[in-house]
Structure 1
């Protein structure tokens, strides 16, 4: 199969592919998604096949309006409507209880709930409207690998497996959307993102920020949201989280003793103050946690294209606000391995 890269001006052809049951990657403000008609079971099954995604990992359903959500979800609460009015379109995914038999179990993982998102990207909103159907959209990468933030990242992973990629440049946020569960009595964040618990609480009151606790431990249990059960965001090299800027002094010494190439991902103020050994290649995460979140997956993918890099030292940030989303992704990419605690094991 030839994978075509569509310009935003070719949106109608991309939408026709969706209507025809084909797979098209689309841009959002967070990462690129892998799109298929959410009502076409055969097409949705091909999403799992293309990604190598486990069948019990439910998919996020992308919509262009609250009207489209209400076609599938049970009547929305006042709190849910306030969230939608405040944060949509944007990087907030909300889990709702479904009306009976409106979406295939292939989409929901067999659950009676589904996660809905109204993305901020105008090209993708146009795609959904033109296709006139909700579109499933897990990240458009090989399952378990760093999420794609450019059309080129998608092409690298899925060329020959999907019909097309709708190119709208580099994504803005760089980490996936916040996932908020509104299907239970107490609203709970299952995955942190750019919309924080504090921002949500200002709209609907207290919310459980339980992303760290909501891990699926039983192999037979179905996760409610992506990222709760399976390995995510991991490059080929082992990532080590460097918890504090002062630790880079020790890290540079360790890196210089390695017989292989070492990658370093940090903000410019750290990269510029250290005389790195010849076997170290650096990748700038910009100037702060916002730019670091924007560039995290791109950096991991950069080093994935260099097989001689066997280890990656990556800067940590305080896990609050956007930093919580950044650290959630970084810790998963590292398998919770931290420099100074685990790097000699």
Structure 2
């Protein structure tokens, strides 16, 4: 490790470097390849090159923005680098990682270099949603005896498939292109905590544990990518995210019209096929209570406060479509935030608001649930994993 990136205590002096997404341009050959990457802003170009140098010359990791959440990247081929991801996050080793690419050309050159091809059943989804918040499962490429694999077993958790996506965020895609290195990149948070949608969230969780964070502003989508498995029939939605179940059925063709939703949590002894299927996720320090079908919230929340002796506790309320404001519900609720009334707004604000109210030092967080369709499927997936308890009307 470079001494310039470490403090005297042996921890990293984590640097946060600004990058301007609007200054990054890809030649629009088509949606999945580019002939030239152009960066107008010299500071952005320099900071991207600094991050790329860390990724290609050390075993250290870098935080960077994607359109979903901030990621913590390391070369997918390097077990030493990938091990640094698990160490920084304190992430269980049986929880696999998603590989991020900048183009299909890079995927074929760097990962599928043995001549393997992407199965045809993915073609319609790739055409519609790449670059974007969609992750697909592919077979791990076979390699001749004695040849190093193009994907570390730490990325796949020693399974026969790997997950891959092409992010649409200019900073993410440029970083991967400049380093010309597919990056394994889970969310850049401490394991089990809410995913980061701002550089400040990454710094809060990982300060001193990583050398560099690229600050490209807030993430647009706000929830992790959708993960699908088209290697089975019927195909499976393993993790809902930025591409909805309805979108898969609409744009995926006849094969994806049969897609089924996998169970939300893997069993204790069951292999984890994709991130988010095992372990507690997305949880603040304060206990989260998720309320479903509770009308305007007045009767149910007051009843819950009394029954659970929460008067005198600091309570935060995150509401969306139906709950009244905190002042109309109970004087016991001291922090009131509106997530939004549309699926897009709710998913964009969810993680940031969970973090915000948690950092105010509240004891409990009440969250209003949403309908379980369109963006709501992914929102409820995250809330049900974050919740200490679900309360039904």
Query: For the superposition of Structure 1 and Structure 2, which TM-score range results when normalised by the shorter chain?
Result: over 0.9
Give the 3-state SS of the residue equivalent to 1:234 in structure 2. Answer: coil
| The one of 62, 65, 79 aligned to 2:100 | 62
Deviation at 1:135, TM superposition (A): 0.6
Alpha-carbon shift at residue 275 of structure 1 (Å)? 5.0
Q: CA deviation at 1:41?
A: 1.3
2:384 to 306, 331, 339: 331
For the residues of structure 1 that align with 2:266 and 2:390, how far apart are their CA atoms?
22
- For the residue of structure 2 that corresponds to 1:152, the secondary structure is helix
SS for the counterpart of 1:264 is strand
For the 8 Å contact 1:271–1:284, the answer to whether it is kept is: no
If the length of structure 2 is used for normalisation, what is the TM-score? Answer: 0.81
Structure 2 SS opposite 1:312: strand
In structure 2, which of residues 26, 40, 61 is the aligned counterpart of residue 23 of structure 1? 61
Contact 1:149 / 1:298 at 8 angstroms: preserved in 2? yes
Counterpart of 2:8? Answer: none
Aligned counterparts of 2:347 and 2:209: Cα–Cα separation in 1: 28
Instruction: Write out per-residue CA displacement over residues 78-137 of structure 1, whole angstroms, 9 at most, x where no aligned residue.
Output: 221222111100000111112123211111100111100100101111000001100111
Offset, 1:198: 2.1
SS in 2 for 1:26: strand
How large is the RMSD of aligned CA atoms in angstroms? 1.9
Q: Secondary structure at the match of 1:61?
A: strand
Match of 1:119 in 2: 167
Once residues 340 and 184 of structure 1 are traced to their aligned partners in structure 2, the CA distance between those partners, rounded to angstroms, is 35
2:126 paired residue number = 84
Structure 2, gaps ≥5 residues long? 1-11, 20-43, 143-148
Contact 1:252 1:277 in 2 (8 A): no
Secondary structure of 2:391's counterpart equals coil
SS at match of 2:243: coil
Contact 2:234 2:258 in 1 (8 A): yes
Unmatched runs of 5 consecutive residues or more in structure 1 = none
Identify the range of structure 1 (267-276 vs 278-287) with the bigger mean alpha-carbon deviation.
267-276
2:295 match: secondary structure: helix
Match of 2:50 in 1: 13
Which structure has the greater CA radius of gyration? Answer: 2
Mapped partners of 2:286, 2:231: distance in 1 = 38
Query: Alignment partner of 2:344: what SS?
Result: helix
- Is 1:264 the counterpart of 2:317? The answer is yes
What is the aligned partner in structure 1 of residue 338 from structure 2?
284
